[in-house]
Structure 1
Amino acid sequence: MCPDYLRPALLIFASIAIGVVGWSGHVLLLPVALGFPVLWSISRTRLVAALVSAGYFLAASRGLPQGVAAFYSSDIWPGLLLWLCGSLSFVTVHTALWTKKSGVRPVRYFLAALVMAIPPFGITGWAHPVTAAGVLFPGWGWWGLGLITAGLAGLVTRIWPAVAIALTGFWLWSAATWTDPKLPEAWRGVDLELGVSLGREAGLQRQRDMIATVRGAANDSARFVALPESALGFWTPTVERVWTGALRDGAATVIAGATVLDATGYDNVLVSIDRKGGSILYRERMPVPGSMWQPWRFLFGESGGAKADFFANPVVTIGASRAAPLICYEQLIVWPILQSVLHDPDFVVAVGNGWWTEGTSIVAIQRAAATSWATLFAKPLVIAFNT
């Protein structure tokens, strides 16, 4: 191979390796993603920077084609198309802001990181290296976020080896002393293994099975029990009556995923149920683009698809506490959790329905991201997933 092509090839191969390892679903490997800005900065041409960005992002989101194929019960091609389309914003932003000028490169990379953290580009801003902040600076909160932002900017300067050594020191120290976030007192998150049937099979027997599951968890001294996304199916007055009646003799409060339909589409929500009744607690701010959130329907006068509430309800009140809720896709992007912690919640509640991700690392990545963010801000964490 000609030497002129060897360096770009090595950079692209390294970016793919960083995407695979950093986003493997192991929380302590998230800092590997910080290798991406180094490769981006030492690319000698805009084209190489674009290919490095594409290699990293596509590798990090490699489970998407298989997951989409499972979700739609189709072949791999729709998933591949969505996978490539999802990478366009990341590649476009990092290609447009790449520069040969070392003096302005840190500012350019900071802008790229900022743009990919907030809407509209942040809507597909998964695999963001800043997610590793909780691993490098556990408990440091906003100071830790500031330090990792400064570290990312430092990694695109000429002194990047020194910055990398310093960040590696924090990483090793954190790994040696690492502990996962604790559960809030009197809480229990219930993982289910009901596959595709969760949310689709919502008859009376399924509701009774869920109630039995909650009672089993409440018997373990938990007063608050979290169930996964879509656990209750459609939220209707009948479902509310069934659950309220079942909880009438106890003190448990159930937080569970459900779907609320109306004439224009549906909301992916969390509901709160106790012996006094049930109510909608949280409406998902950012559903999965494409498969759930389909804003183009309105351009053609069509209804349907999940609603995006964007910056609504960043925290919710549960009992005497305030929680930061994250449903499924919101765990993969940056701005929902940062918006929530601006309001200083007492803990984080992360739920999901990942039956369609079987054979991929998507659920593991969601768990790792939620764990990292909760650890950064020293918040207890409740997790409930269906697989």
Structure 2
Amino acid sequence: MSREYHRSTLLIIASIAIGVVGWSGHVALLPVAIGFPVLWSLARTRLVAALVSAGYFLAASRGLPQGVTAYYSSDIWPGLLLWLCASLSFVMVHTVLWTQNASVRPFRYLLAAAVMAIPPFGIIGWAHPVTAAGVVFPGWRWWGLGLMTAGLAGLATRVWPAAAIALTGFWLWSAASWTEPRLPDGWRGVDLDLGATLGRDVGLQRHRDLIATVRTVAGNGAHFVVLPESALGFLTPTVTRLWTGAFADADTTIIAGVAVIDHGGYDNILVAIDRTGGRILYRERMPVPGSMWQPWRSWFGESGSASADFFANPVVLAGGSRVAPLICYEQLLIWPVLQSMLHDPDFILAVGNGWWTEGTSIVAIQRAATTAWARLFDKPLVFAINT
């Protein structure tokens, strides 16, 4: 009994360590997360499998309580509650699908991985080990995804050391020749450090400051300048006229995050503005559940929820290019990027507004995950975020 207790304790501690290191925000360390299926498969009881799953997920998403506290300007308890609730889906799926039958276990793990990758469970399918495919198999595209999936299944078998050695070999090989995703020609992303005021300070001076920033970037040769999520606040005819007039004499297109209000709530979108006017470029498929996406409001006749377009507009056209946009939360999930990659876009466009994540690794994790997907499919990447 004592030996089994210590063994289970070590598995739980190791799962926590894997969650912390793998999801530290360093793209090169993402493959550490593939140790999770090994620990899950080594559990000898369903309870230990549940505790291993909880340890991994809670450690990987450890920045959530502090982030929620900052977002709502509240104490730590709402953040802790949301943190625990978010872990329930991951833990429940991996607990229910765990089995003592070693021959069936890899197929059960693949099923759990698939369930956590697509809605409804995929809506909070963070910290998915398959994200590491871009670090282990950069440029291999769908073949790399397939090999990583097979590797994860192999790690849930009795011959997991052989699978681990093979994946580690590919990881070290890719690390030796690693390169960051390139920028598409003529495109530039602008990172801002405006905190919670971005999108909330919608005064004329703020717009003038942003216009000056865009002009500086455009003056360095960029024809398409990308601003972060919520950069322009609410989309109104006045805002569109201001920005259109500011670039009436320039061949510059501004891609920026805005919100559009309707009778039921609002859409979190990207808008494209140039000297001819503005148009909605992209509607966010998956806003942040709880803080933005609140579908239960409509059940009680209330409004105020962000719209979730789920599988809409996976690829949009901008400047003759096919673009795969990802807004903030979408960068942590699996299905939005894979849906976009099915349409073979020319590059990935990732924006965010992470002011509320100060003191956490959430923004770094978003950047690392998006970088990994861009490298897997060998796509250029434009990134613009506010902190």
* TM-score with structure 1 setting the length: 0.99
**Distance of 1:17 and 1:110 partners within structure 2:** 23
Counterpart of 2:220? Answer: 220
1:3-18 matched pairs, under 5 angstroms = 3-18=3-18
Q: Secondary structure at the match of 2:89?
A: helix
Q: Deviations over 1:112-166 (max 9, x none)?
A: 0000000000000000000000000000000000000000000000110000000
**Distance of 1:102 and 1:3 partners within structure 2:** 21
Structure 1 residue 296 displacement after superposition: 1.0
Counterpart of 1:201? Answer: 201
**Distance of 1:315 and 1:17 partners within structure 2:** 37
1:70-149 matched pairs, under 5 angstroms = 70-149=70-149
2:366 matches 1:366 = yes
Counterpart of 2:183? Answer: 183
The code of the aligned residue for 1:198 comes to: L
Counterpart of 1:161? Answer: 161
Structure 1 residue 3 displacement after superposition: 2.1
Counterpart of 2:264? Answer: 264
Question: What is the aligned length?
Answer: 387
**Distance of 1:259 and 1:284 partners within structure 2:** 10
1:302-341 matched pairs, under 5 angstroms = 302-341=302-341
**Distance of 2:303 and 2:243 partners within structure 1:** 30
Structure 2, unaligned runs of 5 or more: none
The code of the aligned residue for 1:331 comes to: Q
Counterpart of 1:355? Answer: 355
Structure 1 residue 5 displacement after superposition: 1.1
The code of the aligned residue for 1:265 comes to: G
2:290 matches 1:287 = no
**Distance of 1:279 and 1:204 partners within structure 2:** 21
Q: Secondary structure at the match of 1:279?
A: strand
1:14-53 matched pairs, under 5 angstroms = 14-53=14-53
**Distance of 2:349 and 2:240 partners within structure 1:** 22
Q: Deviations over 1:259-318 (max 9, x none)?
A: 101110000000000000001100000000000000111121211111100000000000
Structure 1 residue 373 displacement after superposition: 0.2
**Distance of 2:202 and 2:41 partners within structure 1:** 51
Q: Secondary structure at the match of 1:180?
A: coil
Q: Secondary structure at the match of 1:372?
A: helix
Structure 1 residue 4 displacement after superposition: 2.7
The code of the aligned residue for 2:164 comes to: A
**Distance of 1:22 and 1:104 partners within structure 2:** 27
Q: Secondary structure at the match of 2:305?
A: coil
Q: Deviations over 1:201-231 (max 9, x none)?
A: 0111111111001000000100000000000
- Between stretches 301-310 and 118-127, larger displacement belongs to 301-310
Q: Secondary structure at the match of 1:221?
A: coil
The code of the aligned residue for 1:106 comes to: P
The code of the aligned residue for 1:73 comes to: S
Q: Secondary structure at the match of 1:242?
A: helix
Q: Secondary structure at the match of 2:279?
A: strand
The code of the aligned residue for 1:186 comes to: G
The code of the aligned residue for 2:8 comes to: P
Counterpart of 2:56? Answer: 56
**Distance of 2:84 and 2:300 partners within structure 1:** 24
Please, what is the CA RMSD of the aligned residues? 0.7
Q: Secondary structure at the match of 1:118?
A: coil
The code of the aligned residue for 1:128 comes to: H
Could you list the structure 1 runs, at least 4 aligned residues long, displaced by more than 6 angstroms after superposition. none
The code of the aligned residue for 1:189 comes to: G
**Distance of 1:208 and 1:91 partners within structure 2:** 48
Q: Secondary structure at the match of 1:225?
A: strand
**Distance of 1:155 and 1:298 partners within structure 2:** 44
**Distance of 1:146 and 1:300 partners within structure 2:** 44
Structure 1 residue 99 displacement after superposition: 0.3
Q: Percent of aligned pairs with the same residue?
A: 78
**Distance of 1:294 and 1:215 partners within structure 2:** 37
**Distance of 1:85 and 1:110 partners within structure 2:** 23
Q: Secondary structure at the match of 2:266?
A: strand
Structure 1 residue 54 displacement after superposition: 0.2
The code of the aligned residue for 2:80 comes to: L
**Distance of 1:65 and 1:8 partners within structure 2:** 27
Q: Secondary structure at the match of 2:6?
A: helix
